[in-house]
């Protein structure tokens, strides 16, 4: 059996961006974004883009740093996209922390913040909005329990790409399915943007940083890293030669239940297609999601065999 290694995403801490002394501009409209970036584009400056839904934490800022290390100009967007929230999901409860987010981006020397309202993104209303769908990857894994979610993601990201027109865009690898979908969308639609993956940033116990971690109760928090622990356990078993992926998935779900949480799914997948992994696949990603009392947490690990 071949040796096992973890596939590493781009870690921001290994970069040393040059000194940036810009004053961040906040833009609210498509036309103002295009006008602001036109001179940079004509001047041959490389434009990086980090799309977010706000409620920024350390992992978001690290993605900004990755963009800064690779690009001359960095744009961050904040838009809580209603199109990717399901009927009973938490769009109304999703934290809006604009003042704090703006302060963090200014401290990080971000160049531009694009902060549109819903009318700017969906001028004809969401019901009449043209949709962008990646059919092979949309309805599995997180998509199975969040119908319409990824259609909303790919639709809004394609719109943001068309507004900003960056040379590259940086996404966190924690949302691995989202990253795979966007890569496939860019490939299928011949969008001239390089997609860069930033590593997962974690708490000391392994819990992946997420805006939804604020919903974890104090009683649950000491056990909340169980998802990561179970995925790592699967990785260890695969590294030792185990190839009964269904049995590993079932055992991991039992571990999550024993910790007091409800598993959504645990799945061993081909890293590119997100289809169930075959015995001879060399690039594998183990993805999982679980529910706390008020949050749905996701995580993943990738392996090269």
Other beta carbons within 10 Å of 115: 18
Lowest mean pLDDT among 9-18, 139-148, 231-240: 9-18
Quote the CA–CA distance of 300 and 289 in Å, as a whole number. Answer: 9
Span 55-106, pLDDT tens digits: 999 999 999 999 999 999 999 999 999 999 875 566 777 889 999 999 999 9
Domains observed in the chain: 9-198 (3.40.50.620), 211-304 (3.30.1300.10)
Q: Residue 12 above 90 pLDDT?
A: no
User: What is the pLDDT at residue 7?
Assistant: 39
Contact yes or no for 55/95 (Cβ under 8 A): yes
Mean pLDDT along residues 105-134: 96
Contact yes or no for 66/75 (Cβ under 8 A): no
DSSP label of 46: -
Residue tagged active-site, from 29, 40, 60, 149: 60
Quote the CA–CA distance of 248 and 244 in Å, as a whole number. Answer: 6
Span 231-277, pLDDT tens digits: 999 999 999 999 999 999 999 999 999 999 999 999 999 999 999 99
User: What is the pLDDT at residue 18?
Assistant: 45
| Average pLDDT value for the chain | 91
Nearest to 26 by CA among 106, 96, 118, 82: 106
Q: Residue 5 above 50 pLDDT?
A: no
> What is the Rg, in whole angstroms, of the alpha carbon atoms belonging to the chain?
19
Catalytic site residue 57? no
Nearest to 234 by CA among 222, 224, 247: 247
Q: Residue 11 above 80 pLDDT?
A: no
Give residues with Cβ within 8 angstroms of 206, minimum separation 6.
Answer: 225, 228, 229, 232
Mean pLDDT along residues 155-162: 98
Quote the CA–CA distance of 120 and 78 in Å, as a whole number. Answer: 13
High-pLDDT (> 90) share of the chain, %:
84
Tell me the CB-side half-sphere exposure of residue 4, using CA atoms within 13 A. Answer: 16
User: What is the pLDDT at residue 211?
Assistant: 85
Quote the CA–CA distance of 78 and 113 in Å, as a whole number. Answer: 7
User: What is the pLDDT at residue 145?
Assistant: 87
Span 191-201, pLDDT tens digits: 999 999 999 99
Q: Residue 166 above 60 pLDDT?
A: yes
Dump the DSSP string for 215-257.
GS-TTTGGGTTHHHHHHHHHHHHHHTT---HHHHHHHHHHHHH
Contact yes or no for 199/205 (Cβ under 8 A): no
Q: What is the dihedral of CA 119, 32, 69, 165, to 10 degrees?
A: 70
User: What is the pLDDT at residue 35?
Assistant: 97
Mean pLDDT along residues 149-171: 97
Q: Residue 134 above 90 pLDDT?
A: yes
User: What is the pLDDT at residue 88?
Assistant: 56
Structure confidence at residue 186 as a pLDDT band (50, 70, 90) = very high
Contact yes or no for 207/224 (Cβ under 8 A): yes
């Amino acid at each position: 059996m071949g040796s096992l290694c973890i596939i590493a995403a781009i870690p921001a801490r290994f970069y040393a961006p040059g000194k940036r002394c810009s004053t961040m501009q906040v833009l609210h409209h498509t036309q103002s974004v295009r006008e602001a970036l036109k001179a940079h584009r004509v001047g041959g400056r490389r434009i990086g883009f980090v799309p977010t839904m706000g409620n920024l934490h350390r992992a978001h800022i690290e993605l900004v740093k990755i963009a800064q290390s690779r690009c001359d100009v960095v744009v961050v967007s904040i838009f809580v996209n209603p199109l990717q929230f399901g009927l009973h999901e938490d769009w109304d409860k999703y934290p809006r922390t604009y003042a704090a987010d703006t302060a963090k981006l200014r401290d990080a020397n971000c160049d531009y913040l694009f902060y549109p309202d819903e009318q700017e993104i969906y001028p004809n209303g969401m019901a009449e909005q043209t949709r962008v769908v990646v059919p092979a990857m949309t309805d599995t894994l997180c998509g199975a329990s969040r119908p319409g979610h990824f259609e909303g993601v790919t639709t809004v990201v394609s719109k943001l790409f068309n507004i900003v027109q960056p040379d590259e865009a940086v996404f966190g690898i924690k949302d691995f399915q989202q990253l795979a979908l966007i890569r496939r969308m860019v490939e299928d639609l011949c969008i001239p943007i390089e997609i860069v993956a930033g590593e997962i940033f974690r708490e000391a116990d392994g819990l992946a940083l997420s805006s939804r971690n604020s919903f974890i109760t104090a009683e649950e928090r000491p056990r909340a890293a169980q998802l990561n622990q179970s995925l790592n356990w699967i990785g260890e078993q695969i590294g030792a030669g185990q190839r009964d992926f269904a049995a590993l998935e079932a055992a991991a779900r039992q571990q999550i239940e024993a910790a007091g949480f409800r598993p959504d799914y645990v799945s061993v997948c081909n890293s590119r297609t997100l289809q169930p992994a075959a015995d001879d696949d060399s690039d594998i990603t183990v993805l999982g999601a679980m529910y706390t009392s008020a949050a749905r947490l996701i995580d993943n690990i990738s392996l090269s065999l």
